[in-house]
Chains A and B, each alone.
Chain A
């Protein structure tokens, strides 16, 4: 299982990359694997405001639906519209092209409550 070192992780299997106050959010490789082939993604509206742990998106495979939570508080400034036509990008590249949305974070120290790659990896099953 791939777990990039330079990201922050939530216990609900989201990842965050924080650059200049903007948090890019996606679901982890573990999460996409548990759900198998994704067929639909319900993204938040740009401008939506979330508290940390609010339900922000829904990802669906043929037989599964899973809620995605905002790992940090803030306002949605961009969503990955490509996923509307190509949800499989999440399966192919969960940590890259499969990102879900970007949040202008209200408080950068929110990520201090998140897990680092090593702690996150301990949470996930070993192969």
Chain B
């Protein structure tokens, strides 16, 4: 069966993205839908992982609110991170417990997707021992944090394209002090590709690396009935 991918063109509030993920997670656990991957941008938000520590937040709750940044404790692995428009977020809702799983491990696969996407635009990406994500000589471009429930994944990866990186100055990203954050835009300047182009690259590499054939949908367009209900359910 094909894997569904759903593209959202407008930035999605974090809570709405979370609600959609929870509905998809349950539907996937019950085998009502195939593996599904969401590609979206969030409205500005700082999220803490399961073990996320408040001392990695450099502003007060009121200061974040004044900057128009929401604050969330997420139930994913990983530490604190920042999402905002201009950054792609991939939320793969995949059953990883069966024989289609990759023995290299899901974390490795997510890193590989980011590294291959960087490579497509002539940027050398690499892993760093003990520090997950995808790195370049200019800094970290992709951050990873996910959770498995009944071996179905949710949460996932964010990839900086042309987002305002000042949001990262309000946190200690992933709890790593003094490590710079970069985006395709800060590396490639005026040669930075369009958002839609980068999203398609990420999904193409996702398809290759995770060995899943994609059937692509737009969240605002025509969707299979069961998917429409899960995505649009108020």
Chain A residues engaging chain B, CB cutoff 8 angstroms: 1, 11-13, 30, 33-36, 40, 58, 60-67, 69, 122-127
Contact = CB atoms under 8 A, between A and B. Distances in A.
A66 to B, nearest CB: 4
B148 A67 contact: yes
Interface stretch (B74-82, B117-125, B200-208, B226-234): B74-82
B99 A124 contact: yes
A123 B99 CA distance: 5
A58 B167 CA distance: 31
22 contacts: A1-B103, A12-B97, A13-B97, A34-B96, A35-B148, A40-B51, A60-B51, A61-B77, A61-B107, A63-B78, A63-B132, A63-B144, A63-B145, A64-B107, A65-B77, A65-B146, A66-B149, A123-B97, A123-B98, A124-B101, A125-B99, A125-B101
A26 to B, nearest CB: 16
Is the contact region of chain A dominated by helix, strand, or loop, or is it mixed? mixed
Interface of B: 49-51, 75-78, 96-103, 105-108, 130, 132-133, 144-151
Contact of B107 (A13, A36, A58, A124): A36
A125 B105 contact: no
Contact of A11 (B78, B97, B103): B97
B77 A60 contact: yes
A122 B96 CA distance: 14
B22 to A, nearest CB: 14
Given A11-B97, A34-B101, A60-B50, A67 B150 contact: yes
B147 A35 contact: no
Contacts of B78: 62-64
A69 B99 contact: no
